[in-house]
Structure 1
Amino acid sequence: MARSWTRLHEHLGRPMGRLTHGMIMDAVASKLGETDDLDWKKQLPTFVPKPGIWNEFAKDVTAMANTRGGLLVYGVTDDIEAVGIDLAEVNEQQLTQTLRNGVQPYLSGVDIVPLPAPGGGGPDFLIVDVTPSELAPHFQYGWEQKDKDRATFNAPYRVGSETFYMSEHQVARAYQERFSRQARAETALAELVQQAASVVLGESVPGCAWLVVAGRPARPVPRLVPAPRASQFRHEDVAVDPAPQPHVHAVAEPIGQSAADPVRIAVKPKPCGGLNAFEQGGLGLGTARQAGAMVELHHDGGVVVCVDLSHPMASQIGAALVDTWTLPTALGEAVAVIDAHRRRRLLDSTVDITAAIVADGNNGPDFRFIACGYGNGQPRAIERARQPLRVIPATTELPPIADDDVLQATGKELVEGLLHQFGINAH
C-alpha cells in the first residue's frame, strides 16, 4: 500500500493522503533536492542483463527499504526539471518480477503509481513508493564478472542522496534489530491489552465482560512529525464512525506529566450503543454502565478502546454476559478511533490490532462467557450458543490508507473472530 505521508507532503505542507501529479510539479518548481527518502530519475529503469553490473532498479528500491523508505520519481532530471516519461512503456509486471527475482527476502512494501498529467497536458510521472521494511536487511542479488561469472549479493542502504553497501557488522546489527523489533511489537501490543484489562476490571462489578481493543503502529512516528503537546488532545474530533456518522467529539486529559504518557478519557455510550459523547474526568467505572467505555490515546500512535459488554444481570448469575448487540458497533468505532489517531500522528504505517473479551478470572471453575442478545428490548441469553471458558483474542491489520469500506471490513473481521467462538455468525 502506498504511503500517505512522504518527503513531498512534509516539504509542501500538505495533509496526509495519496500523492498527486500536482504535488510532483510543485516539488519540482520549488527545487526540492534529493535525500535518503527521495530520488529523482530522468528515465525509466532498463532491464538488459549485463554481467558485472547491478540492476539499478533493484538496488535503488532495496536501499530505500533498508533505510527508512522513500520515493523513486521517474520523469525528473538530476537538475530537478520535469521532463516526464512515456507511461505506455511502463511494464509493471517486469518491475515487480525484477524485485521478486533479485531481492531477498521478498519486498512486499512497494507500490508502483503512474501519475498522468491531468487532461493529457504536461509531463507524466511514475512513482515507486517504498515503505521501510520490517524484514530488513534485504539483499540484492546480481552477477559480477571476475575470472568466471558468479552470483553475489549485497545489502544497499542510503545516506543522503548516496547509496552504500552494508559491511558485515552492519548486517549483523540489522538482523538483531529485525528480531528485536518483532519481539518488542508483539510484547507491547499484549501489554496494552493486559494493562487496560486490569484497569477496567479493577473498577467494575464482578462478572462484567469488557471488550478491550488495542492498536499499535508497525512503524514508529516519522521523524518529520513534530513532538506532540498534551493540549493537542483537548476538544478535538477524534474519529469518524465508519457507518459513517457525525464526528465523535472528545475532551481528553493527559495521564502523567511527560509527553510519553498516554491520554485517557472516559466515555459514556448513548442508549443505542457505540462510543459517543466522550466525557472528561475520571474513569468512574464503579457501577456497570455508569461510564461504559474508556479510551487511551498514546503519543506513539497507539490506541486502546475498552467497552463494557455486560449488564447488571451478570453479577447475579455468576457468568460474563457478552452483549452481542453492542459488540459490532463498539468494534467498528474502535477501528475508526485507531485510524483517526494514526492520521493525527501522521503515521502511514500498518497498524496491528488485537481485540479481546475479558472478565474477572476469579469466579470459579464453572465461570462462563454467555452470548447475550435482546428480545422485546430485554436482554436474554442466545439459545444454542457456545459458552466458552475464555475468548481467544482476534487479531488483524489496518492498512496504511483506509477508506470507509476498509474500516468496516477491518471491524467485521474482528467481530467474526470473536463471535465465531460463541458459534454465532456476524451480521
Structure 2
Amino acid sequence: MDDLDWKKQLPTFVPKPGIWNEFAKDVTAMANTRGGLLVYGVSDDIEPVGINLAAVNEQQLTQTLRNGIQPYLSGVEIIPLPAPGGGGPDFLIVDVAPSELAPHFQYGWEQKDKDRATFNAPYRVGSDTFYMSEHQVARAYQERFSRQERAETALAELVQQAASVVVGESNPACTWLVVAGRPSRPVPRLVPAPSRAEAKNTLLDGVKTAARLHNDPFGVRRVLSDRLNNAMHVGLRRWVDSNILVPELRSSQAGAMVELHHDGGVVVCVDLSHPLPSQIGAAMVDTSTLPTAVGEAVAVIDTHRRRRQLDSTVDITAAIVADSLDGSEFRFLPFGYGSGQPRPIERARQPLRVLPATTELPPIADDEVLQATGKELIEGLLHQFGINTY
C-alpha cells in the first residue's frame, strides 16, 4: 500500500554525506502521492516491536521537515501512541496529508562534485519509493496550478453567490461584509451531512471561541449571537441561519446570515451599514463592528472544518459589497462610534471599491494561528480606508 509504511526503529538524524534523510524522504513521498501513515514500532513482517517514546524528539522531527523539504509541507501530525496502562509496546504515528502544493522536493547533499546540494521529488508506488522524472515533475506542477485555479474560482463563486443573496434580500442602502471559507479538499457528497443540532452547536461554539480569542468572555462585542437566533434552516447541501431570509424571522437587528455547507465550506455575512444622515452616494461601513465579525467568521470556519474532520487548508476571502439604487458611482465611507453615536472617521480614505482580502487557514490551527488569520483579513480590509488600528 502506498499510504501505509511500517518502521521498526525511530528515524536517525546523524548527518552522513551522500545519504538522504530517510524520514524527510518518506514524508515527502507520501505528501506527493495521496498521503498516509508512517508507523514506528512495527517490523517489516508487521510484528509489533515498539519504540522508546522518551527518545522521540518532536522538535527535531519537525525541524527536519522544515529544513529538508520545499515548499514547506504543512498538515504533518506527529502522534505518540503509548500502550494503555503501560503494559505493551509503544508506537509513534506520523500522519501525512496529501498536499495541495505537490510536488515537494527533498533537499540533501551528494558527495559528487564537492558535496553539492541537490534535490529530488520522491513519490510512492505501492510500498516502494521512486523519484520523479522531468516529465512527472512537469505534470505535477500542471496539476498543482489547475487545483489552485479551480479552488480560487470556486471560492470567488461562493462569495458572489452569498453577496447576491444578502444584497438582494436587504435594503439597497445596506453594505455587507461577506467572509467565505472553502477547504482545499472538501468533504465528499457521500459523507453524511451534519444534523441540525450539530450545525447549531458549531455556530455557538465558533462564536464562543472568537470571544475567548479576543479576550471577551462575556460576549459584550458579539455580532452573530446578537443578530441570529440559532434557528438553522435547511438549504441546498447546507444549513442556514439568517434574520433576513424568512419574513417571520426578520428583526430590528442589523442583518446577518451564516451558511454551514455540508462539504466543509462556510459563509458569514454581516450588515455593516447605518443610516447616517446626509450621506447620499456613500456606502456606509461600520469599521468598529468589522473586526468582531471577521474574528467570529474565522472561528466558525475553523470549528466547522474540525467538526467535519477535515485535515486540509481552508482558503478564506473577506469582501465588502454594496448595491447602488440607480447604478451610479458611490464611495465606501467608514464610520465608528463616539459617545455612543455613529460618526464618520475623520481623515479616512473613501475608496470607490474595497478589494477582497484573502488568506488561508492551515490544517492544524491553534489560538495563535486563528488570531493571526483574523488579523490578516481585518487589516487587509481596514488598510484600504487608511485605518491601521482597530
TM-score norm. by structure 1 comes to: 0.71
Distance across 2 between alignment mates of 1:398 and 1:139: 23
Pairing 1:106–2:71 present: yes
Distance across 1 between alignment mates of 2:290 and 2:348: 16
Pairing 1:305–2:281 present: no
- Does the CA-based 8 Å contact 2:273-2:283 persist in structure 1? yes
- Does the CA-based 8 Å contact 2:183-2:315 persist in structure 1? yes
Matched position secondary structure for 1:195: helix
1:117 deviates by: 5.2
Pairing 1:254–2:230 present: no
- Does the CA-based 8 Å contact 1:204-1:288 persist in structure 2? no
1:228 alignment counterpart: 192
Pairing 1:357–2:325 present: no
The answer to which of 118-127 and 59-68 deviates more is 118-127
- Does the CA-based 8 Å contact 2:10-2:51 persist in structure 1? no
1:214 alignment counterpart: 180
Matched position secondary structure for 1:400: coil
Go from structure 1 to structure 2 and tell me whether the alpha carbon gap of 1:150 and 1:358 turns closer, same or farther (over 3 Å shift): closer
1:129 deviates by: 3.8
Distance across 2 between alignment mates of 1:229 and 1:411: 27
1:83 alignment counterpart: 50
Alpha-carbon deviations, 1:351-410, whole Å to 9, x = none? 111111111255533x21111122333222122222121112222222323344443343
Go from structure 1 to structure 2 and tell me whether the alpha carbon gap of 1:94 and 1:336 turns closer, same or farther (over 3 Å shift): closer
1:264 corresponds, among 240, 243, 251, to 240
Go from structure 1 to structure 2 and tell me whether the alpha carbon gap of 1:314 and 1:179 turns closer, same or farther (over 3 Å shift): farther
Alpha-carbon deviations, 1:198-240, whole Å to 9, x = none? 222223323321001011112333x7x9612375577631232
- Does the CA-based 8 Å contact 1:216-1:302 persist in structure 2? yes
Structure ranking higher in helix proportion = 2
| Aligned-partner residue type, residue 299 of structure 1 | H
| Aligned-partner residue type, residue 240 of structure 2 | R
- RMSD value, Cα: 4.0
| Aligned-partner residue type, residue 37 of structure 1 | D
2:171 alignment counterpart: 205
Distance across 2 between alignment mates of 1:323 and 1:291: 11
1:41 deviates by: 1.2
1:106 deviates by: 3.2
- Listed as ranges, the gaps of 5+ residues in structure 2 are none
1:238 corresponds, among 196, 202, 208, to 202
1:300 deviates by: 2.0
- Does the CA-based 8 Å contact 2:351-2:384 persist in structure 1? yes
1:310 deviates by: 0.4
Pairing 1:378–2:359 present: no
- Does the CA-based 8 Å contact 1:71-1:128 persist in structure 2? yes
Distance across 2 between alignment mates of 1:135 and 1:39: 22
Pairing 1:72–2:72 present: no
Matched position secondary structure for 1:207: coil
- Paired positions, count: 367
1:3 alignment counterpart: none
2:5 corresponds, among 39, 45, 55, to 39
Distance across 2 between alignment mates of 1:251 and 1:58: 45
- Does the CA-based 8 Å contact 1:335-1:411 persist in structure 2? yes
Distance across 2 between alignment mates of 1:314 and 1:267: 25
The answer to which of 126-135 and 327-336 deviates more is 126-135
What does residue range 289-328 of structure 1 map to in structure 2 within 5 Å?
292-313=255-276, 317-328=280-291
Distance across 1 between alignment mates of 2:181 and 2:371: 16
Alpha-carbon deviations, 1:82-135, whole Å to 9, x = none? 42136547595588458745x5x4342264747385999676654444332222
- Does the CA-based 8 Å contact 1:243-1:408 persist in structure 2? no
Pairing 1:346–2:309 present: yes
Matched position secondary structure for 2:323: coil
Pairing 1:335–2:271 present: no
Distance across 1 between alignment mates of 2:375 and 2:251: 26
Go from structure 1 to structure 2 and tell me whether the alpha carbon gap of 1:284 and 1:40 turns closer, same or farther (over 3 Å shift): farther
Distance across 2 between alignment mates of 1:208 and 1:196: 14
Matched position secondary structure for 2:264: coil
| Aligned-partner residue type, residue 254 of structure 1 | G
| Aligned-partner residue type, residue 73 of structure 2 | S
| Aligned-partner residue type, residue 362 of structure 2 | P
Distance across 1 between alignment mates of 2:351 and 2:276: 18
Go from structure 1 to structure 2 and tell me whether the alpha carbon gap of 1:384 and 1:54 turns closer, same or farther (over 3 Å shift): closer
- Does the CA-based 8 Å contact 1:207-1:318 persist in structure 2? no
Alpha-carbon deviations, 1:1-40, whole Å to 9, x = none? xxxxxxxxxxxxxxxxxxxxxxxxxxxxxxxxxx543323
Matched position secondary structure for 1:329: helix
Go from structure 1 to structure 2 and tell me whether the alpha carbon gap of 1:234 and 1:140 turns closer, same or farther (over 3 Å shift): closer
Go from structure 1 to structure 2 and tell me whether the alpha carbon gap of 1:41 and 1:230 turns closer, same or farther (over 3 Å shift): closer
Go from structure 1 to structure 2 and tell me whether the alpha carbon gap of 1:91 and 1:403 turns closer, same or farther (over 3 Å shift): closer
Distance across 2 between alignment mates of 1:125 and 1:253: 44
Go from structure 1 to structure 2 and tell me whether the alpha carbon gap of 1:264 and 1:124 turns closer, same or farther (over 3 Å shift): same
Matched position secondary structure for 1:238: helix
Alpha-carbon deviations, 1:321-369, whole Å to 9, x = none? 111232122112111221121122111222111111111255533x211
Go from structure 1 to structure 2 and tell me whether the alpha carbon gap of 1:48 and 1:232 turns closer, same or farther (over 3 Å shift): same
Distance across 1 between alignment mates of 2:143 and 2:292: 38
1:186 alignment counterpart: 152
1:262 deviates by: 3.6
1:414 deviates by: 1.9
Go from structure 1 to structure 2 and tell me whether the alpha carbon gap of 1:132 and 1:116 turns closer, same or farther (over 3 Å shift): closer
- Does the CA-based 8 Å contact 1:204-1:285 persist in structure 2? no
Of all paired residues, the percent bearing the same amino acid is 68
